[in-house]
Structure 1
Amino acid sequence: MDMLHQDLPDIPLDNELLYHFLSSTFSILSLILQYIQIYKTIWWLPQSHTPYALNFYLMDLYLMVYVIIILIKPFIMTIKSKESYGEMFCTNRFTLSKYINAGLNLLFIGLFVIQILSFYYVFQTYDVLRLLFLIYPIFIYLILYHNQIHFNPKFWTSFNLYQICGTFKNENLHIEKSIKHNCMDISVYPAHIYKEINHLNQFIHLNIKNILYNTIIIAYYACFLPCVMAPPIINYNLRDIILLSMIITVTTLAHSIYHTFSYKNVDEIYKICIHFDYIMADTSQNINNHSHLNDKVICDTTNIQESEFLQSPYFLFFKEPTNFIKSLLMLQSTLIACQMYSLYINTEWNLVLSIGFLLFCNYYLLFKILRDYFTLEKVYGIKSKSS
């Protein structure tokens, strides 16, 4: 079965630690850019009441600290995970594990205390209606993951609001970061392709929920919440706020999709799809030729044909190795074109600064998508010519 597959070159990918660091940094800077849109001043005019570019005295620093801690929570939890020790330190992980774990626990407790204090001051400042905006992501979480939440006492004892708003890594909601195709076993037993397809279906569904949740959380806390919590005397440009929020949301979505469905995962999914075609064609040919097939093989083949994955658009979408990268490339190119057009038609300093920064971030992501696209196109182009 090796002739069905093609080996890919080793392209460096962002690990979980680097990805959450970049994601947290981007979300914090997006929050700052949104604050610039809301609290900007006309400081250059002679009759301006302030010499500063922003109305700092109107900002609620406690709310900002509270939101920032929520946004960096996935990064802190990734550092705290034991798998990150070997990525951060080249020395013996078991030698420093005790001290590192103690330091990270102190950091985690310190951030938790700071967030509780920030929430206390926020609770004293705002009315009940505005405070409800702080807990709305809980309902988004329950809508997306209600099927995975079970009434397990061990789960509910470790379940808290702080965990919901930052990350959802626990044994009940475990989301795998990669998928692996086992070629040798599947070529012998059709039951393995049935298990692999079911696993692939769960992998795609759970990671789509993961992408949606991460995008909604960053868009909600970095874009929407500063607007609804702003003082009533603030008069900001709603068009600029909506434009910047849409750019931040799509950028976050594209980054999450690229990291979750990396070129390696796309290649593994493609191998499963093409191997499924081979198994189905071979089994159907044997049935038509009245070859000897036992009941178990026929039953496994029937289960494969009735699999949910075959009824979903994922099968046709990943059947070609470059379809997914092409779609992501079109999304990223369209986003950059819209940003370039927004820079052309806008002259406000705050919007030009914000879009320019986001454009730089999207150029970096576009480079990585193009690199993966040309690699897959080159590898599978050579394969198609040789076949």
Structure 2
Amino acid sequence: MSAYRRINRSARSLAQQSTFGNGNNSNNTSELSINSPSSNTSTTNLNDSLNNSNKSLIQYDTNGSTDLLATNKGHTAIKYDENQSNKCEHELSNGNGFTSYPLQPKHIRFPDVPYSSELVNELMIFIYTIIATAMQFLHLYRTVWWIPESNTNQTMNFYLIDGHLTLFIVILLGRRFMYCFLLGILEMICPKQVYQIAVKVARLTFFIGIISVLGYLCYQMFPKQRYIVIYLCYPMIVYLITFGTQIEPFLRTIFETESSTYFNGIPSHSCSTNPTVIRAEIDLLRTDYNNRFKQVVFTSLLNAYYGAFIPCCFAQSFLYYDLYWATQHLGFLVLGGFTMCTMFCFPANYCDVMHMASLHLGKWTRVETRSYSPPAVAWQKLVFYPPGQFVKHSGELFKSYGAVTTAIPANGVHIRFYMFFQNPSNIYLILSIVQSVIVILQVVILFMVVEWHNIISLSYLVLANYHTLFKIVRDFFVTHRMYSSSSASSTSPSTISSPSSPSSAKSHRS
């Protein structure tokens, strides 16, 4: 049982005895006045009952830190004293009806939205990019095979396509699917004791094998293409700048950081009652989000680069092709790959974890005090702040928003995190609009074209984008329904109530 639930249980037992009025702390002893008209219990008896319950009120101890309840300007907050590991104190607020424990955000259970596994997602991205690459080769090497005077009966001039280049593109684009397939085999055949060692050996061996094969293919193409082969190695320079010397981002779209706990590829969230732990969790989630976003951008650009741009670079000088359609195909491949990778890296249950963490973080808004100066306290890093609390930090005045606020005032990282994930349905709304515009534009162009190769390529892109649009719109409706109801319940009077009501203590459980 968490410390928060133990506080609620003890608060209920005290609430059944009396109604608290104004209290003053003197010599570490709580003196309370009783204003109940139906009770004539003395202050001494109430003090005895309170002292006997102090031992069971707070029993939270993590890394030698003990919960201490502190009061600031009529607002109640919880403060952690890291130097005292065995001492527990409980001080009630001095009025205004605020509770003596922090108002924890209310988390609504997220529905089980079906989503594909990593292996299936990598397979879908691989198939999408490979077929799009084939469509670009169709734009370049198509023939007029239907004309009676034509000297060929094939739809493409296959003899002009470099086989080494085609193999290079297939291996590079399919490296992640092959690696995930290898990990699946290791998971089935390897015992748990040696699984991690087997994964490390397989990762290094697979990486060396892929690089060796790609290097051999480049060596075979160099006599024919000369310095154009340098175009094949250019994305590797971008990779080193983006990810450094890490091997995992090259072989997997989603790679887990060692400092976080993951369940089915999704980082976990813990409803902590320590502000320092909450901010540390935000830093870990922000790092994971940045890694995923970099993967989305890099993967979409890399797939479009090798799937649509490289075939044009290696086309023969005497070859004539429609540059407009080749460029348009490249643009659609970038946009379609971006939205597909985004749905792969940021499913709805992942954004729900970020949403729950943002509720614990809260938000500070800078207040311009020109005509009045509201009462404020100095911001402290080990204090929970209730909604509407004014604090001073770095000579400026801030106001808290949310059920609780543990963020650092004027911290850009915390502000952006809360702004993005306070309501993640807005992210899916933007993606839905972008994907809808892409599909509508492709359908309009499809009705206008008459060339057979353009009809085939656009029809494939439209069908692939329909699948992505379905998943984006589905996640938008689910998240919008969930977070709109969550916002309504968090702003209702029952969510912020006195601990004298047992129902309010139940609604605050996270």
Q: Which amino acid aligns with 2:239?
A: Y
RMSD: 3.7
- 1:182 aligns to 2:252 (yes or no): no
Contact 1:33 1:354 in 2 (8 A): yes
Residue from 225, 228, 238 that aligns with 1:140: 238
Residue from 76, 79, 83 that aligns with 2:181: 79
CA drift at 1:267: 1.3
Q: Which amino acid aligns with 2:414?
A: L
Which residue of 2 is the match for residue 8 of structure 1?
Answer: 110
Contact 2:249 2:255 in 1 (8 A): no
Distance in 1 (alpha carbons) for counterparts of 2:266 and 2:215: 35
Which residue of 2 is the match for residue 206 of structure 1?
Answer: 291
CA drift at 1:279: 9.8
Which residue of 2 is the match for residue 56 of structure 1?
Answer: 158
Which residue of 2 is the match for residue 328 of structure 1?
Answer: 431
CA drift at 1:108: 8.2
Contact 1:197 1:307 in 2 (8 A): no
- 1:124 aligns to 2:223 (yes or no): yes
Which residue of 2 is the match for residue 266 of structure 1?
Answer: 351
Which residue of 2 is the match for residue 22 of structure 1?
Answer: 124
- 1:220 aligns to 2:305 (yes or no): yes
Q: Which amino acid aligns with 2:137?
A: Y
Which residue of 2 is the match for residue 284 of structure 1?
Answer: none
Residue from 343, 368, 371 that aligns with 2:474: 371
SS in 2 for 1:212: helix
CA drift at 1:28: 1.1
SS in 2 for 1:127: helix
Distance in 1 (alpha carbons) for counterparts of 2:475 and 2:291: 24
Rate the CA distance shift 1:174–1:39 in 2: closer, same or farther, 3 A.
farther
Tell which deviates more after alignment, 44-53 or 351-360: 44-53
SS in 2 for 1:9: coil
Which residue of 2 is the match for residue 318 of structure 1?
Answer: 421
Residue from 179, 191, 212 that aligns with 1:94: 191
Contact 2:435 2:469 in 1 (8 A): yes
Mark the runs of 5 or more structure 2 residues left unpaired by the alignment.
Answer: 1-102, 366-373, 385-392, 394-404, 493-510
Percent identity between matched residues is 24
Q: Which amino acid aligns with 1:94?
A: P
Rate the CA distance shift 1:85–1:244 in 2: closer, same or farther, 3 A.
same
Return the TM-score normalized by structure 2.
0.61
SS in 2 for 1:30: helix
Distance in 2 (alpha carbons) for counterparts of 1:65 and 1:15: 27
Which residue of 2 is the match for residue 337 of structure 1?
Answer: 440
Contact 1:325 1:372 in 2 (8 A): yes
How many residue pairs align between the two structures? 355
Contact 2:138 2:453 in 1 (8 A): yes
Residue from 227, 230, 236 that aligns with 2:315: 230
Contact 2:132 2:333 in 1 (8 A): yes
Which residue of 1 is the match for residue 140 of structure 2?
Answer: 38
Distance in 2 (alpha carbons) for counterparts of 1:34 and 1:24: 15
Contact 1:66 1:115 in 2 (8 A): yes
Rate the CA distance shift 1:243–1:368 in 2: closer, same or farther, 3 A.
same
Which residue of 2 is the match for residue 248 of structure 1?
Answer: 333
Q: Which amino acid aligns with 1:376?
A: T
Q: Which amino acid aligns with 1:179?
A: P
Structure with the largest fraction of strand = 2
Contact 1:198 1:307 in 2 (8 A): no
Distance in 2 (alpha carbons) for counterparts of 1:294 and 1:103: 48
Distance in 2 (alpha carbons) for counterparts of 1:2 and 1:302: 11
Tell which deviates more after alignment, 212-221 or 166-175: 166-175
SS in 1 for 2:266: coil
Q: Which amino acid aligns with 2:467?
A: Y
SS in 2 for 1:126: helix
Q: Which amino acid aligns with 1:55?
A: N
CA drift at 1:141: 1.2
Distance in 1 (alpha carbons) for counterparts of 2:257 and 2:361: 30
CA drift at 1:20: 1.0
Q: Which amino acid aligns with 1:26?
A: Y
CA drift at 1:113: 6.3
Rate the CA distance shift 1:84–1:247 in 2: closer, same or farther, 3 A.
farther
Which residue of 1 is the match for residue 408 of structure 2?
Answer: 304
Structure with the largest fraction of helix = 1
Larger Rg: 2
Contact 1:197 1:309 in 2 (8 A): no
Rate the CA distance shift 1:69–1:174 in 2: closer, same or farther, 3 A.
farther
CA drift at 1:179: 3.0
Rate the CA distance shift 1:137–1:165 in 2: closer, same or farther, 3 A.
farther
Q: Which amino acid aligns with 2:218?
A: F
Contact 1:211 1:257 in 2 (8 A): yes
Return the TM-score normalized by structure 1.
0.79
CA drift at 1:385: 5.1
Distance in 1 (alpha carbons) for counterparts of 2:359 and 2:220: 57
SS in 1 for 2:174: helix
Contact 2:358 2:422 in 1 (8 A): yes
Contact 2:355 2:423 in 1 (8 A): yes
Distance in 1 (alpha carbons) for counterparts of 2:459 and 2:179: 31
